[in-house]
Amino acid sequence: MRRLNVPLGDRSYDVVVGRGVAAELESLLPMTAQRAAVITQDGIPAEIVLPGLDVETFVIGQGEGAKTLRTIETLVRGFAEMGLTRNDVVIGVGGGMVTDVAGFAASTWHRGVPVVHVSTSLLGMVDAAIGGKTGVNLPEGKNLVGAYWQPTGVLCDLDFLDTLPPREMRCGLGEMAKYHFLTGDDLLAMDLEERVARCIEIKAEVVASDEREGGRRALLNYGHTFAHALEIATQHGLAHGEAVAVGLIYAAELGFELGRIDAARVQEHRAVVAGEYDLMANPPLGLDADELVSLMYRDKKAVGLGLTFVLDGPAGLEVVSGVGETQVRAAMARILG
């Protein structure tokens, strides 16, 4: 078992990683809690035992289509019925979609109640449950409505991964591949616990230096601008981690188009994503370039004229604003086929 820390002053919190660590959940709960609102989904293999607490369980829908303001309204009205107060706790039990929704619901109820995340997916453990980003989707875009709301603790029991479907594991690997380009770490050379812990350490260090994405934290979005457009254009037929894998390749092609990296570095991206991580490197056939460009303009990270991307370059990953549509489309043509 490893107990890591996200250092945010008086809002610092622990992340517990390992096999069989579900028993540590009680140690992450606020001492004041008398009630717990557990938010989860059907099929999540997690038994939550909270002795001495009045527990109400809320089961939300599956998939990005349930990640909506309507779901938030249903949850907070349920909080009202159970009498949840600021001294109580919300517990999100599930993957990244669950923790995004649970965190946002907690941030809005009584203007903020504590939330603890019990992450049951690889994607959630290495990314979504850490760092305090919460949100839901609109028809116009992904995660456009949300808040920064740090949890009071995160539990990553690796036993949950034993029954995770292969596609969900691939989603987590998409985010792991991103960390490869952020740090150069050979994560696949580590055992599972060390690998998950290292990803958490990387994200915790970045979040501690830039909690609200005013600078360095934006680098964690490498591959995500195009990925979010892909998710919407495919009606979420591509899961988030799958889309991020393709987004990493697109970002490399765009970096090449802008003269920031050479062809060998683009090939290295393909070798890591498709070779080492065995992930898809090209999107499904038949996608419309005009739609993808339009969706990227709606991205919440877009600022000013042109588009904003995290791109590789001589100094490593950097945020690049004002990227022209000609270059955006040229890079897209190389991966759309």
Question: Could you tell me which residues come within 8 angstroms of residue 121 by beta carbon, excluding any fewer than 6 positions away?
Answer: 94, 95, 96, 160, 161, 164, 168, 171, 172
User: Quick one: CA dihedral 77, 27, 101, 207, positive or negative?
Assistant: positive
Find the catalytic residue in 201, 228, 231, 253. Answer: 228
Catalytic hit among 133, 142, 198, 269:
133
- Calpha distance 41→57 (Å, rounded): 10
Active-site residue, from 170, 180, 211, 221: 221
CA angle 108, 133, 288 (to 5 degrees): 110
Catalytic member of 213, 231, 242, 253: 213
136 has which bridge partners? 145
Q: Assess whether 117 carries a catalytic annotation.
A: no
Please list, in sequence order, all residues whose beta carbon lies within 8 angstroms of the beta carbon of residue 320, skipping any fewer than 6 positions away: 258, 260, 308, 309, 310, 311, 313
Q: Are 117 and 124 in contact (CB under 8 A)?
A: yes
List all residues 6 or more positions away from 279 whose beta carbon is below 8 Å from its beta carbon: 170, 173, 174, 177, 241, 242, 245, 273
**Which one is catalytic: 67, 137, 143, 175?**
175
**Residues 87 and 32 sit within 8 Å (Cβ to Cβ):** yes
Of 170, 178, 203, 269, the active-site residue reads 203
Backbone angles phi, psi at 2, to 5 degrees: -125, 135
Q: Catalytic annotation on 269? A: no
Selecting among 240, 242, 253, 269, the annotated active-site residue is 240
Length of the chain: 337
Contact 31, 38 (CB under 8 A): no
List, in order, residues 6 or more apart from 241 with CB less than 8 Å away. 123, 170, 171, 172, 173, 174, 175, 279
Catalytic residue among 195, 198, 217, 269: 217
Beta-bridge partners for 92: 39, 117
111 is catalytic: yes
Q: Is 213 annotated as catalytic?
A: yes
Question: Are residues 261 and 252 in contact, defined by beta-carbon separation less than 8 angstroms?
Answer: yes
236 labelled catalytic: no
Rounded CA separation 242/305 (Å): 29
Enter the tokens of residue 7: 């250092």
Catalytically active residues, by annotation: 111, 133, 175, 203, 213, 217, 221, 224, 228, 240
